[in-house]
Amino acid sequence: MTVEEKMRLVLSLAEEGMEQGEIPIAAIIFHGD
């Protein structure tokens, strides 16, 4: 997985989380590792 692919995944997870209002910032950051 490239860095760009990871960033896209993180951003999509973040957007979904914000819509649902239940994903904390820390989870988004850890998904980027």
Question: How do the pLDDT tens digits run along the chain, 33 residues long?
Answer: 799 998 898 888 878 766 766 666 666 666 655
pLDDT at 21: 66
pLDDT at 22: 65
pLDDT at 9: 87
Q: How many domains does the chain fold into?
A: 1
Question: What's the rounded Cα separation, in Å, for the pair 23 and 3?
Answer: 21
φ, ψ (nearest 5 deg) of residue 21: 70, 30
Question: What's the rounded Cα separation, in Å, for the pair 6 and 20?
Answer: 21
pLDDT at 26: 63
Tell me the residue range of the domain where 12 lies.
1-33
